[in-house]
Amino acid sequence: MLTLKNSISYAARGVNTERLNAILENAGQSVLDVGCGNGTYVLKLADRYNILGVDIQHFETWNAMPHLFSVSDASELKFKDSSFDTVLSFETLEHLPEPKKALREYYRICRKNLILTVPNCDVTSGMRQSLMTYYHWVDRTHVNFFDMDTITEAVKEAGFKVVKHYYINQLSLLPLLTEAFNLSGLLGKLVQKILLKRQQRKYYITCLVVAEK
């Protein structure tokens, strides 16, 4: 069974521009959003796509358009084979005890492609030496920890062909640096601008994968 997500964060989830762009660029006309949470993407795109959303629990926001939502386990979807052009799965697989089973379900019910995101759990050597990590590692609702290599491999094992994979949601180090070096006032802002321009490596919170059937 799908474990319950953090009900507070998923009830308040808004539309992420980078995820939305991936949908607009790649989705077919009929779409299923698996693990839709509060249904923000379903409600946003209801006038553009034939879209439905499912999650393991009911959310109050579904009441605005109840015919577009239903309760369902991601690993046992109640739809026939090839029911949708596109399956969306945003921040869902990390919560599942059997993510590969869910991916096989996605493959079964989609006709065209899959668009998914998972938290990026690739901890760099610099993070380890600083005793720092992403929040994903301490979220107790997470039972799987993917990086780009492991999520793309899992998608391929389910039968998909990965056509795009890239990182989204860049992590900003400025709040930490501002606090650590007390970079306040005009001088602080100037130092922040210099640090941003000289930054050699970027850190991202999320892995995004687009795969075709």
| % of the chain beyond a pLDDT of 90 | 68
Per the prediction, the chain carries an average pLDDT of 89
Mark 82-93 as b/e (b = at least 16 C-beta within 10 Å). Answer: ebbbbbbbbbbb
Q: Which CATH superfamily is domain 17-171+204-212 in?
A: Vaccinia Virus protein VP39 (3.40.50.150)
What size, in residues, is the chain?
Answer: 213
Distance spanning both ends of the chain, measured CA to CA: 25
* Range from 20-29, 39-48, 152-161, 165-174 carrying the lowest mean pLDDT: 165-174
4: pLDDT strictly greater than 50: no
The strand pairing partners of 100, in sequence order, are none
Band (pLDDT 50/70/90 cuts) for residue 9 is: low
DSSP state, residue 15 = -
Distance between CA atoms of 90 and 77, rounded to whole angstroms? Answer: 16
Nearest by Cα to 115 from 81, 91, 145:
91
The domain locations on the chain are 17-171+204-212
Per-residue pLDDT band for 184 (boundaries 50, 70, 90) equals confident
> Does pLDDT of 6 surpass 60?
no
pTM higher than 0.75: yes
Q: What CA–CA distance (Å, rounded) separates 146 from 193? A: 32
